[in-house]
């Protein structure tokens, strides 16, 4: 009797894992299979067989293209988002900390964040030309708003008891910012960063579509203009994979940095 | 306090406009790149007098509204379906997680090839981007349904449709409204992007034309118009959301997962 | 040690004036454990926040060791009722306790570590330093908050209804913990509560506050033995008398009956107060302690 108990839990754990794997992979496998089969004999120029696309993928995305197009795109995105994060968090902390500053800035911020970021591309091109600077500034100026506004909200929402605790123990100034305000606002800041990341990818692609000599957006448009349809499809797939990979990376980073927040949320949910 | 805030806000706005006037006038930035506010306002006045501007605005709004409607309906239908049919939610989770972060601008070349500068190009991008916003909020909302309410309904023998209508839908509605608000903002961004990059008729295309013809004040005027449009959409969506939330007891934070 | 003179606090906001504290004068001697008790909503928290320098009084003053309090003084530690919101959830227990020490000048890392370990040991949480606060029960979280205050080595410990949100058994443990720490560390403790039994059980002296706008209703010396026990102390006739007396005072306070004249100055004298529900109660400090 005693020996059978761990066995049973062991096998049920295996069964759970198996079930989990089936649930995760079944539908994607089916979808890819359907695409593969239905497109197999496709004569439609715009919908080449998936087989052709996959074969083209390895020919198109050579090491040279990775370093010449993918890497510059990703670096621009990283630089733009990083710049937006620094500016957004810094300004957001100031605006969030002082009620009057917030009242003064609010209408202007409401307007600026409502401007659809892609229209900034032609505007910023005037100032920054068509080089990397332009792309980074475009990405940063589109990404800064969600980060800034979320930081403002996060800084405003610092708990009053925590704030008084810090004061009563003489934790003020920089220490208060570092130990209380920023950690407390970090869940909101991360929510802003996540929104910023998806806007950043959009801006990365279209700033390269507008004016560039390399990069993912540029390459994909080149394929489209030269009617290299399977190549274009590989570009679309690669962009999709990049979006997915970045969101996974972001989630990993978030889980790590905000481990306390998720734990706290689970703890309060469990008790209520 | 309210009055004071409004006054401070007005002061901030006035200061912003004055800076926009003074900085180029003093030559801190070139006027060809950043015209003074008065020049932009003048260009805006000319735009407003031009029937072609109103046609472009109408085109943009058509693409936005049509795309948003399709995305909202599709998002709600798919969301409810995934929640009602057993195992469907779990089976689709990984696929949704993969498809959602795919940037909709990746579809631009495909849209150009398939539909050129037609409205359908705009719709493809708008619907793809806005759909996920609605779908995810519907899924969060349904997950948030009180299990006790659900079981009560079950124990009284309510059928699936009645449960969806009387239990699931009212509980999820606030989330759905949040989804609609987020989708409305995203839809505008993508509508303008499609016009700007693909050249589908609308404000975006007009901005592209102004840019290529070096009509800088006109370009700024149009950018201001898109900003005001975005502002109106945000305010409108928030008002609708607040009305939908008014009867809802639980005040909840936005789901940001 | 800790002097409150003519303290008054009026809140003004959106066109309304609320007088939370009208006129409070009392003294807490060095090494004393004083309990403040009053009807709910009587401005206890306001008073404590004024005393800790978190709020500026409208008039009157608070002095600590002869120095006027006009901001959180370094020799004072505050334990809040809302332990869950007072500990920082992004820091582990050890870091939470250590944080205030980092603000103190001239404390080396080794000394800080020593103080943290000692404080956690004192509250019986030596093993919990690596846990996050939200992984602990409510009572344990409040122990962490107390440990944080202890590590700070304050002259005065202010506690604002610290056990109002924990269950009864935990509460009894925590009360004994406070008594023990007070005796071991010879601190001055000012303990605010709305629980009469708790006030009488814990305090060497009980200050009864009136309803808002607050004045001192009465001060009362608790002549229970120094060593107290949840079981035996609470069943002594003397305990019952004291709690009855405080109870009647609070009832009188709720009805707004005038406080006995001179309350506050003759702090040591527990007077016979005839106003309590019409039933005269005789409680004198010279009554022999009952055993």
Residue contact A114–B233, C-beta within 8 A: yes
Question: Min CA distance, B104 vs chain A (Å)?
Answer: 8
Q: Residue B100: list chain A partners with CB under 8 A.
A: 247
Give the pLDDT confidence score for residue C258 in this predicted structure. 52
Residue A180: closest C-alpha in chain C: C88
Compute the distance between CA of residue C254 and CA of residue C217 in angstroms, rounded to an integer.
Answer: 11
Give B159-210 as a DSSP string: -HHHHIIIIIHHHHHHHHHHHHHHHHHHHHHHHHHHHHHH--SSHHHHHHHH
Range B33-246 has CATH code 3.40.640.10: no
The ranges assigned to domains in chain A are 66-271
Residue B227: closest C-alpha in chain A: A115
CA nearest B131: which of B142, B121, B123?
B123
- If pLDDT is split at 50, 70 and 90, which confidence band does C264 have? very low
CB of B255 within 8 Å of a chain A CB? The answer is no
For range B203-232, the mean pLDDT: 93
Secondary element (H or E) of residue C25: strand C16-28
Q: Residue A263: list chain C partners with CB under 8 A.
A: 132, 134-135
Secondary element (H or E) of residue C35: strand C33-37
Provide the mean pLDDT of chain C.
84
pTM above 0.90, yes or no: no
- If pLDDT is split at 50, 70 and 90, which confidence band does C290 have? very low
Token code pair at residue B117: 């500068």
Nearest-by-Cβ selection for A118 from B101, B196, B228:
B196
CB of A267 within 8 Å of a chain C CB? The answer is yes
Secondary element (H or E) of residue C71: none
Answer yes or no: are the C-beta atoms of C219 and C63 closer than 8 Å: no
Partner residues linked to C196 by β-bridges: none
- Torsion-angle region of residue C60: left (phi > 0), alpha (psi -120 to 50) or beta? left
For range A153-168, the mean pLDDT: 92
Domain that holds residue C149: 90-153
Residue contact B192–A119, C-beta within 8 A: yes
Number of Cβ pairs closer than 8 Å across A and C? 69
Give the pLDDT confidence score for residue C283 in this predicted structure. 39
Same domain, C205 and C65: yes
pLDDT in tens, C186-206: 889 999 998 999 999 999 999
Compute the distance between CA of residue A168 and CA of residue B186 in angstroms, rounded to an integer.
Answer: 45
pLDDT in tens, C213-233: 888 888 989 988 888 988 889
Question: Min CA distance, A159 vs chain C (Å)?
Answer: 7
For A166, the 3-state DSSP assignment is helix
Kindly tell me if the per-residue pLDDT of B29 is higher than 90.
no
End-to-end CA distance of chain C: 32
Compute the distance between CA of residue B119 and CA of residue B67 in angstroms, rounded to an integer.
Answer: 10
Give the pLDDT confidence score for residue B144 in this predicted structure. 77
CA nearest C181: which of C286, C282, C31, C71?
C31
For range B164-170, the mean pLDDT: 82
pLDDT in tens, B54-80: 999 999 999 999 999 999 999 999 998
For range B238-252, the mean pLDDT: 66
Compute the distance between CA of residue A62 and CA of residue C143 in angstroms, rounded to an integer.
Answer: 61
Question: Min CA distance, A176 vs chain C (Å)?
Answer: 10
Torsion over CA of A249, A250, A254 and A256, rounded to 10 degrees? Answer: 20
CA nearest C222: which of C255, C246, C252, C250?
C246
Kindly tell me if the per-residue pLDDT of A271 is higher than 80.
no
Same domain, C165 and C147: no
Question: What percentage of chain B carries pLDDT values higher than 70?
Answer: 94
Compute the distance between CA of residue A192 and CA of residue A250 in angstroms, rounded to an integer.
Answer: 12
Residue contact A224–B112, C-beta within 8 A: yes
Token code pair at residue B235: 């305010």
Number of Cβ pairs closer than 8 Å across A and B? 166
Compute the distance between CA of residue B65 and CA of residue C36 in angstroms, rounded to an integer.
Answer: 64
Q: Residue A184: list chain C partners with CB under 8 A.
A: 88, 90
Give the pLDDT confidence score for residue C267 in this predicted structure. 34
CB of C102 within 8 Å of a chain A CB? The answer is yes
Give the pLDDT confidence score for residue B168 in this predicted structure. 82
Look up the CATH number of the domain holding residue C6: 3.40.50.300
Subunits next to A (3 or more Cβ pairs <8 Å) are: B, C
Handedness of CA B2, B3, B9, B13 (dihedral sign): positive
Where is average pLDDT lowest: A170-174, B109-113, B246-250? B246-250
Question: Min CA distance, C77 vs chain A (Å)?
Answer: 7
Kindly list the distances between the CA atom of residue B107 and the CA atoms of A53, A210, A213, A238, in Å, as whole numbers in the listed order: 16, 15, 20, 12
Answer yes or no: are the C-beta atoms of B66 and B120 closer than 8 Å: no
Query: Residues 167..196 of B with a Cβ closer than 8 Å to A: which?
Result: 185, 188-189, 192-193, 196
Kindly tell me if the per-residue pLDDT of B246 is higher than 70.
no
For C144, the 3-state DSSP assignment is helix
For range A134-153, the mean pLDDT: 94
CB of A235 within 8 Å of a chain C CB? The answer is no
User: Could you give phi then psi for residue C218, rounded to 5 degrees?
Assistant: -165, 155
Subunits next to C (3 or more Cβ pairs <8 Å) are: A
Question: What percentage of chain C carries pLDDT values higher than 70?
Answer: 88
| Cβ burial, residue C194 (10 Å; 0-12/13-18/19+) | middle
Provide the mean pLDDT of chain B.
87
Q: Residue A224: list chain B partners with CB under 8 A.
A: 109, 112-113
Domain membership flag for residue C102: yes
Compute the distance between CA of residue C241 and CA of residue C237 in angstroms, rounded to an integer.
Answer: 6
- If pLDDT is split at 50, 70 and 90, which confidence band does A9 have? low
Instruction: Please tell me which residue, B88 or A186, carries the higher pLDDT value.
Output: A186
Residue A109: closest C-alpha in chain B: B13
Answer yes or no: are the C-beta atoms of B142 and B80 closer than 8 Å: yes
Q: Residue C99: list chain A partners with CB under 8 A.
A: 169, 171, 179
pLDDT in tens, C126-159: 999 999 999 999 999 999 999 999 999 998 999 9
The strand pair at C33-37 and C205-209 is best described as: parallel
Kindly list the distances between the CA atom of residue A219 and the CA atoms of A200, A214, A237, A239, C174, in Å, as whole numbers in the listed order: 18, 7, 13, 11, 69
pLDDT in tens, A68-127: 899 999 999 999 999 999 999 999 999 999 999 999 999 999 999 999 999 999 899 888
Question: Min CA distance, A267 vs chain C (Å)?
Answer: 7
Compute the distance between CA of residue C235 and CA of residue C227 in angstroms, rounded to an integer.
Answer: 14
CA nearest A53: which of A67, A30, A69, A35?
A35
Peptide bond into C260 cis (omega under 30): no
Q: Residue A29: list chain B partners with CB under 8 A.
A: none
User: How many Cα atoms within 13 Å fall on the side-chain side of residue A47?
Assistant: 11
The strand pair at C59-64 and C205-209 is best described as: unpaired
Same domain, C66 and C119: no
Share of chain B residues as helix, strand and coil, in percent rounded to the nearest 5: 80, 0, 20
Nearest-by-Cβ selection for C85 from A159, A170, A263:
A159
From the candidates A99, A165, A270, which should be mutated to test the interface with C, based on the most C CB atoms within 10 A? A165
CB of B147 within 8 Å of a chain A CB? The answer is no
- If pLDDT is split at 50, 70 and 90, which confidence band does C276 have? very low
Where is average pLDDT lowest: A123-137, A210-224, A258-272, C106-120? A258-272
Residue contact B106–A116, C-beta within 8 A: no
Question: Min CA distance, B203 vs chain A (Å)?
Answer: 10
CB of B27 within 8 Å of a chain A CB? The answer is no
Nearest-by-Cβ selection for C103 from A170, A183, A186:
A170
DSSP assignment letter at C131? S
Compute the distance between CA of residue A40 and CA of residue B140 in angstroms, rounded to an integer.
Answer: 38
Partner residues linked to C220 by β-bridges: C206
Domain membership flag for residue C127: yes
From the candidates B15, B31, B102, B251, which should be mutated to test the interface with A, based on the most A CB atoms within 10 A? B102
Residue B188: closest C-alpha in chain A: A116
Q: Which stretches within A39-70 are classed as H helix?
A: 50-60, 63-65
CA nearest C163: which of C183, C185, C146, C147?
C146
Buried b (16+ CB within 10 A) or exposed e, C122-153: bbebeebbeebbbbbeebbbbbbbbbbbbbbb
Q: How many CB atoms lie within 10 A of CB C55?
A: 18
Kindly tell me if the per-residue pLDDT of C68 is higher than 70.
yes
| Cβ burial, residue C56 (10 Å; 0-12/13-18/19+) | exposed
Nearest-by-Cβ selection for B106 from A28, A110, A239:
A239
Count the domains in chain C: 2
The fold of A66-271 is: MetI-like fold (1.10.3720)
Residue A171: closest C-alpha in chain C: C103
- If pLDDT is split at 50, 70 and 90, which confidence band does B252 have? very low
Kindly tell me if the per-residue pLDDT of B3 is higher than 90.
no
Residue contact C49–A179, C-beta within 8 A: no
Domain membership flag for residue C80: no
CB of B18 within 8 Å of a chain A CB? The answer is no
Secondary element (H or E) of residue C139: helix C138-151
Final residue of a structural domain among C153, C182, C200: C153
Nearest-by-Cβ selection for B207 from A112, A122, A201:
A122
Kindly list the distances between the CA atom of residue A169 and the CA atoms of A166, B229, C158, C221, in Å, as whole numbers in the listed order: 5, 48, 12, 31
- If pLDDT is split at 50, 70 and 90, which confidence band does B102 have? confident
Question: What percentage of chain A carries pLDDT values higher than 70?
Answer: 95
Helix axis angle for C138-151 and C109-122, nearest 10°, is: 140
Same domain, C181 and C149: no
Same domain, C44 and C183: yes
Kindly tell me if the per-residue pLDDT of A144 is higher than 50.
yes
Token code pair at residue A56: 């083209």
Token code pair at residue B94: 């990984």
Same domain, C170 and C143: no
Residue B209: closest C-alpha in chain A: A122
Q: How many CB atoms lie within 10 A of CB A5?
A: 9
Nearest-by-Cβ selection for A162 from C86, C132, C152:
C86
Instruction: Please tell me which residue, B222 or C11, carries the higher pLDDT value.
Output: B222
| Cβ burial, residue C91 (10 Å; 0-12/13-18/19+) | middle
Residue C145: closest C-alpha in chain A: A165
Give the pLDDT confidence score for residue A155 in this predicted structure. 94
Residue C91: closest C-alpha in chain A: A260
Residue contact B197–A210, C-beta within 8 A: yes
Compute the distance between CA of residue A191 and CA of residue B254 in angstroms, rounded to an integer.
Answer: 10
CA nearest C31: which of C225, C256, C185?
C185
Name every residue whose Cβ is closer than 8 Å to that of residue A126 and which is 6 or more positions away in sequence. B32, B33, B34, B216
CB of B105 within 8 Å of a chain A CB? The answer is yes
């Amino acid at each position: 009797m005693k020996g059978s108990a761990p066995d049973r839990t062991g096998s049920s754990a295996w069964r759970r894992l198996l079930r989990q794997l089936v649930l995760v992979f079944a539908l994607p496998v089916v979808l890819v299979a359907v695409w593969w089969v239905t497109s197999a004999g496709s004569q439609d120029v715009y919908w080449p067989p998936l087989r052709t696309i996959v074969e083209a993928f390895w020919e198109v995305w050579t090491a040279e293209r990775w370093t010449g197009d993918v890497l510059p795109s990703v670096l621009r995105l990283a630089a733009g988002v990083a710049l937006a994060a620094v500016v957004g968090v810094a300004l957001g902390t100031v605006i969030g900390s002082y009620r009057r500053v917030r009242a003064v800035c609010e209408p202007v911020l409401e307007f600026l964040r409502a401007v659809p970021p892609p229209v900034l591309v032609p505007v910023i091109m005037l100032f920054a030309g068509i080089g990397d600077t332009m792309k980074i500034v475009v990405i940063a100026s589109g990404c800064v708003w969600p980060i800034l506004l979320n930081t403002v909200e996060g800084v405003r929402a610092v708990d009053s008891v925590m704030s008084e605790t810090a004061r009563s123990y003489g934790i003020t100034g920089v220490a208060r910012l570092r130990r209380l305000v920023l950690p407390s606002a970090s869940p909101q800041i991360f929510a802003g960063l996540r929104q910023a990341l998806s806007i950043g990818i959009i801006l990365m692609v279209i700033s390269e579509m507008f004016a560039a000599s390399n990069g993912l957006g540029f390459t994909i448009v080149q394929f489209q203009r030269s009617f290299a349809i399977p190549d274009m499809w590989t570009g679309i797939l690669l962009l999709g994979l990049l979006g997915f990979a970045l969101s996974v990376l972001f989630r990993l980073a978030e889980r790590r940095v905000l481990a306390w927040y998720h734990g706290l949320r689970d703890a309060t949910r469990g008790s209520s | 306090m309210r009055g004071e805030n409004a006054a401070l806000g007005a002061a901030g706005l006035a200061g912003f406009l004055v800076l926009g006037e003074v900085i180029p006038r003093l030559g801190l930035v070139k006027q060809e790149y950043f015209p003074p506010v008065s020049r932009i306002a003048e260009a805006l006045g000319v735009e407003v007098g031009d029937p072609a501007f109103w046609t472009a605005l109408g085109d943009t709004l058509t693409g936005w509204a049509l795309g948003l409607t399709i995305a909202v309906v599709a998002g709600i239908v798919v969301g409810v379906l995934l929640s009602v049919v057993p195992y469907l939610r779990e089976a689709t989770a990984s696929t949704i997680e993969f498809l959602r972060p795919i940037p909709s601008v990746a579809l631009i070349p495909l849209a150009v090839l398939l539909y050129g500068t037609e409205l359908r190009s705009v719709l493809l991008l708008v619907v793809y981007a806005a759909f996920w916003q609605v779908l995810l909020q519907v899924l969060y909302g349904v997950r948030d349904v009180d299990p006790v309410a659900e079981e009560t309904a079950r124990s009284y023998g309510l059928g699936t449709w009645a449960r969806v209508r009387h239990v699931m839908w009212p509980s999820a509605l606030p989330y759905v409204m949040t989804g609609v608000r987020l989708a409305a903002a995203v839809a505008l961004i993508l509508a303008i992007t499609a016009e700007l990059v693909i050249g589908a008729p609308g404000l975006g295309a007009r901005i592209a034309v102004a840019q290529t013809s070096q009509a800088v004040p006109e370009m700024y005027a149009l950018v201001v118009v898109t900003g005001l449009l975005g502002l109106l959409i945000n305010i409108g969506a928030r008002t609708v959301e607040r009305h939908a939330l008014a009867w809802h007891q639980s005040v909840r934070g936005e789901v940001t997962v | 040690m800790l002097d409150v003179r003519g303290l008054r606090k009026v809140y003004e906001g959106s066109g309304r004036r609320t007088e939370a504290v009208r006129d409070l004068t009392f003294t807490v001697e060095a090494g004393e454990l004083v309990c403040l008790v009053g009807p709910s909503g009587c401005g206890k928290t306001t008073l404590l926040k004024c005393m800790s320098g978190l709020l500026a009084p409208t008039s009157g003053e608070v002095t600590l060791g002869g120095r006027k309090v006009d901001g959180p003084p370094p020799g004072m530690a505050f334990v809040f009722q809302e332990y869950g919101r007072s500990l920082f959830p992004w820091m582990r227990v050890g870091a939470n306790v250590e944080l205030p020490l980092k603000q103190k000048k001239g404390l080396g890392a080794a000394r800080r570590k020593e103080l943290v370990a000692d404080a956690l040991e004192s509250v019986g949480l030596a093993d919990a330093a690596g846990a996050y606060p939200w992984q602990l029960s409510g009572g344990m979280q409040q122990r962490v908050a107390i440990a944080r205050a202890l590590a700070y080595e304050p002259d005065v410990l202010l506690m604002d209804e610290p056990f109002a949100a924990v269950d009864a058994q935990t509460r009894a443990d925590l009360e004994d913990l406070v008594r023990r720490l007070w005796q071991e560390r010879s601190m001055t403790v000012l303990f605010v509560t709305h629980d009469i039994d708790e006030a009488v059980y814990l305090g060497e002296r009980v200050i009864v506050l009136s309803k808002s706008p607050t004045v001192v209703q009465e001060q009362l010396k608790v002549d229970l033995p120094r060593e107290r026990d949840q079981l035996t102390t609470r069943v002594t006739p003397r305990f019952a008398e004291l709690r009855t007396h405080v109870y009647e005072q609070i009832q009188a306070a709720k009805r707004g009956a005038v406080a006995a004249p001179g309350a506050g100055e003759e702090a040591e004298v527990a007077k016979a107060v005839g106003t309590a529900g019409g039933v005269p109660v005789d409680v004198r400090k010279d009554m022999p302690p009952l055993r």
